[in-house]
Amino acid sequence: MTELVHARPDTPRAALVTVGDELLLGDTVDGNAAWLGRALAELGLRVVHRTTVGDDPAAIRAALQDEAARADVVLVTGGLGPTEDDRTREALAQAAGVALRTDPEIVAALEERYRARGYERLPPTNLRQAEVPEGARALANAYGTAPGLALEVGEALLVALPGVPREMRGLFEDHVRPLLASRFEGRLTPVHVRRVHTTGIPESVLAERVEAALEGLEAAIRAAVEVAYLPDLRGVDLRLTARGARKQAEAALEAVEEALADVVAPYRFDDPEGDLAGALGERLRARGLRLATAESCTGGLVGRHITDVPGSSTWYAGGVIAYANRAKTVLLGVPEQLIEAHGAVSEPVARAMAEGALRTLETDVAVAVTGVAGPGGGTPAKPVGTVWLAVADRWGGGDARLERFAGDREAVRERAAQAALKAVYDHVAPA
Amino acid sequence: MTELVHARPDTPRAALVTVGDELLLGDTVDGNAAWLGRALAELGLRVVHRTTVGDDPAAIRAALQDEAARADVVLVTGGLGPTEDDRTREALAQAAGVALRTDPEIVAALEERYRARGYERLPPTNLRQAEVPEGARALANAYGTAPGLALEVGEALLVALPGVPREMRGLFEDHVRPLLASRFEGRLTPVHVRRVHTTGIPESVLAERVEAALEGLEAAIRAAVEVAYLPDLRGVDLRLTARGARKQAEAALEAVEEALADVVAPYRFDDPEGDLAGALGERLRARGLRLATAESCTGGLVGRHITDVPGSSTWYAGGVIAYANRAKTVLLGVPEQLIEAHGAVSEPVARAMAEGALRTLETDVAVAVTGVAGPGGGTPAKPVGTVWLAVADRWGGGDARLERFAGDREAVRERAAQAALKAVYDHVAPA
């Protein structure tokens, strides 16, 4: 159980209600629920339950009352828009047994906002957004029109937030976080989190090695840190969580991080967002180096990840998507005979691609990827997932390696792209 | 309200329970809930409610009983794995008021599966997966180890499926769909869905024009079709849904599609998966044409979308990621003076990039994208979002156009990439 082993007995319980027909009908995936769950858990609350209902005031009211009976705080998202389908305000009022009244300050703010955008007047439908349950506090929305609402219902605090993710997150940070911190002062176990980003090692193998490495730790320290494995196509993130007073928590985290250092070292990269291209960019920028890419099976995915990083033009000159074999020759100077002799997916061709990119784009370092992404194109000698990676630098250094990636076309391409970024990252590591 | 206006009075109600601490804690986004919601809605059931609970048998049992009281069928996902945290089997048994018993057939199947994978014997923990509530039917799992379970609880049918998405979807198709079709025979209003894929027009503008175009329709026909707008960064999908007997439903859909044909024509593309690159590939393949790409601000995103399509090597030779200006010159032959005179983000440079790619990669058609993705790099004359697109073909044809895309870096890049694909798609349209 990923339950918080060290939660205090008086840890406040949180519950969520997410509102919208589009959620029940599957038109929208409930990303808000995941974001809030994580934010509340890291704040130190225990998320105990979640309900999703459609745009039906009776169902919303029932869900609010139900969750309010089992939690100290209930967050409800959605249903605060200006249309007829937006029923959360009235449901909240009904759950609290109070009336809705129009708040003139909110009306004035809405009118001002529309005037500023060049509209002559506020569309009448938007007036609904100024309705506030008696006794509720409006939470100013700097990111949209609907204010959030906070209201006591029985022993519980109910907080209504817009469903638009950017607005929801903005109001959470502006209002909800400080509100909860003060309401539950003394009851929130501070959470300290460290993330270790890895790529190139499967979750199960990593978990086995990490657990073995942690066995040597003192029992109290090992018990103080929860280790979670968060895998996706790009790699596995290790999330280390410790609760309690900063000094002891950080000491425990430090001990755990040290204990697994050797295990993760070959696979680890450092970036605040867990973005390998960002980490690579930092290394290249710090050393004043420029990179070129030569891609075949990844078809532009490596370039895309690199250029996802703002400011990448500082350290990335560009690249070649040499998808057809002829393109490898005309764009990268890979001799036709080399491709004929060894095949496009081979060490000599990978190396020639990297050297070609280095030369043509006049950079300090270059990386090449050539492989069989699937579903077709595999042979017994080179099945789907076979990928050659090569790095070349202008001081004559270079490296090539063969990988076998599991999974479908998408998985092979993504894993190959990550491996290419990691290959350069390692090649330009500080001495 | 997106509620099914034409649902029969006896339309069966469905409810979902999704189980897992990782869902409440936000480590996993509830994709299963969205997928099932859509599948059930298209089958003709009305999804009324959804609960998400942690790995706590009491909470799971309460959720099952609660949903069983309000729905005719309850689908529960998660908690069927082999670990201690997997509690759904026991919760299901408790909700039904029956005992759990070990099914020897399932044990045999599990042992066989492990032997086939080369293990000597079944790990004892996996025996839990052979436990079945008395009276439940096991649903064979061809995609993993845990069988699904189907059990009557009061008036409701409860179906437990694995939480692993691929397994959940597989068991739904293999067992749940036929089970529901037969159980609710006569009560399921068949749903007929058509999707119209568009790109290059904002949702609000499209909605305005579509609604205006549909005003001319006979009221009964207009009322028979529900029009839903599903926007994302790549464009807007129109989902047209009609319920009831095939002949009338299809006639209504046909009438609606015809009525909005002119409105969507400039923005529409046809692909079963709604993938513009796939649609483009079909057109190029049908005409025996090959494509090259020249990208600047999109950094490989166009090539990536193209090569996401299996078999794209038939019609895509490759491309250039000419991120730095020098790269535009060395890889595409764009004269330095042209870039100096007009700037990299200009019509002459876009055209030269397209012609350069055409020539170098020896293709029939080429597309180039050059723009300001942001957040930096904007000027008053060329603010963030300014993008020039150019298409060139080897018969001297060509086209260039200026776009202004809204949004952040990710939005500008994705919209520019889609616009590039659409530009070629339109250029090679059948005469």
In three state form, how does the secondary structure of A144-179 look? CCCCEEEEEECCEEEEEECCCHHHHHHHHHHHHHHH
8 A C-beta contact, residue B82 and residue B163: no
The one-character DSSP state at B239 is E
Tokens linked to B67:
């949903």
Mean pLDDT of chain B: 94
Q: Give the number of other CB atoms < 10 A from CB of residue B255.
A: 17
Give residue A145's pLDDT.
86
Contact A376 B311 (CB under 8 A): yes
Q: What is the pTM of this model?
A: 0.87
The residue type of A398 is G
The residue type of B301 is L
Kindly tell me if the per-residue pLDDT of B152 is higher than 70.
yes
The string of pLDDT tens digits covering residues A212-226 is 999 999 999 999 999
Instruction: Name the CATH topology of B13-183.
Output: Molybdenum Cofactor Biosythetic Enzyme; Chain A (3.40.980)
Handedness of CA B342, B329, B318, B385 (dihedral sign): negative
User: What is the CATH code of the structural domain delimited by B276-427?
Assistant: 3.90.950.20
What value does the mean pLDDT take over residues B185-191? 88
Give residue B5's pLDDT.
42
Give residue B7's pLDDT.
63
For tokens 């990923």, the residue is: A2
Give residues with Cβ within 8 angstroms of B410, minimum separation 6: A308, B233
Residues in A closer than 8 angstroms to B311, CB to CB, are 376
Of all residues in chain B, the percent with pLDDT exceeding 90 is 84
Which residues share a beta bridge with A412? none
Closest residue in A to B17 (Cα–Cα): A51
8 A C-beta contact, residue A375 and residue A384: yes
Q: For an interface test with A, give the residue of B307, B339, B353, B358 to mutate (most A CBs within 10 A).
A: B307
What's the N-to-C CA distance of chain A in angstroms? 42
The CATH architecture of the domain made up of A191-269 is 2-Layer Sandwich (3.30)
The CA distance from B18 to A428, in Å, is: 45
Kindly tell me if the per-residue pLDDT of B2 is higher than 60.
no
The string of pLDDT tens digits covering residues A258-273 is 999 999 999 999 999 8
8 A C-beta contact, residue B309 and residue B281: yes
Contact B25 A47 (CB under 8 A): yes
The CA distance from A398 to A82, in Å, is: 60
Burial A313-346 (b: 16+ CB within 10 A, else e): bebbbbbbbbbbbbbbbbbbebeeebbeeebbbb
The residue type of B408 is D
Residue A40 burial by Cβ neighbours in a 10 Å radius (0-12, 13-18, 19+): buried
B391 by DSSP, 3-state: which?
strand
Contact A307 B41 (CB under 8 A): no
Rama region for B239: left / alpha / beta (φ>0; ψ in -120 to 50; rest): beta
Return the domain boundaries, chain B: 13-183, 191-269, 276-427
Q: For an interface test with B, give the residue of A35, A293, A297, A323 to mutate (most B CBs within 10 A).
A: A323
Kindly tell me if the per-residue pLDDT of A302 is higher than 80.
yes
CB-defined contacts A:B, below 8 A: 261
Cα of A402 to nearest chain B Cα, Å = 22
Q: Give the number of other CB atoms < 10 A from CB of residue B218.
A: 10
Give residues with Cβ within 8 angstroms of A350, minimum separation 6: A368, A369, A370, A388, A389, A390, A400
**Does residue A325 sit at the B interface (CB-CB below 8 Å)?**
no
The string of pLDDT tens digits covering residues B55-98 is 999 999 999 999 999 999 999 999 999 888 899 999 999 999 99
B73 by DSSP, 3-state: which?
strand
What value does the mean pLDDT take over residues A124-137? 92
Of all residues in chain A, the percent with pLDDT exceeding 70 is 98
Contact A324 B313 (CB under 8 A): yes
**Does residue B391 sit at the A interface (CB-CB below 8 Å)?**
no
Kindly tell me if the per-residue pLDDT of B113 is higher than 90.
no
The one-character DSSP state at B176 is I
